[in-house]
Amino acid sequence: MRKKNIFKETLLVSQEDMALLLHVNKSQWAMFEIGERDLPNDAKLKLAKLLAVATALQEGQQKTDQEILQEGKINELLNKYINDNYIKQLSTLRKLETIQRKYHEALRTHHFICLLQNDNEISTKHQTLLQDMSNKAKNTMERHGLHVQLDYEVKLKTLQYEEKLLKKRLKKSDSA
């Protein structure tokens, strides 16, 4: 009959350490674990106390200083991520607004030039100038086009979703 090693699964306690805690040798403890040998009564009493402590740990007790320190580090890191995310959102939003503004300016310029080019009274010299202006507007529209705007919109939405996840995790960490 094989016995379950509670301590090895729930705690980082080696066979050597357990044997030392119970004042038995390692082979005695190892054979007890696999059900081939019994322990002395005083070792059984110590084992019962250790099992009671292990059970109490599983039921949840006061947090240790180390746990509180680790949770503090998590909260610090989450707050840093939230702040970094906020800066990235602002930067992405500004870039998106700039790209949208330049695109719409170029689009209005292109429409304006199209209207002027239809005027028969414009000289060839002015037609060449209008063509150059039209090319500049088209290039600007391409560099700041709807596909580029979509890319920034997706980045912004991703950052906003990440922010929600970080805040949710921070709230969960605060309530724990």
Per-residue pLDDT of the chain (176 residues; tens, 9 = 90+): 445 555 555 667 788 888 888 889 989 888 888 888 888 888 888 888 888 877 776 665 667 788 889 999 999 999 999 999 999 999 999 999 999 999 999 999 999 998 887 777 777 788 888 899 999 999 999 999 999 999 999 999 999 999 999 999 999 888 76
Provide the domain limits for residue 24.
6-59
Dist CA 176 CA 159 (whole Å): 26
The answer on 168 and 138 residing in a single domain is: yes
Extract the tokens encoding 58: 């599983």
Number of domains in the chain: 2
Dist CA 109 CA 133 (whole Å): 8
pTM score, whole prediction = 0.63
Does 1 map to a domain? no
Identify which of 143, 138, 144 has the alpha carbon closest to the alpha carbon of residue 101: 144
- Give alpha helix (H) positions in 40-145: 41-59, 65-117, 124-143
Does 140 map to a domain? yes
| Helix/strand/coil for 159 | helix
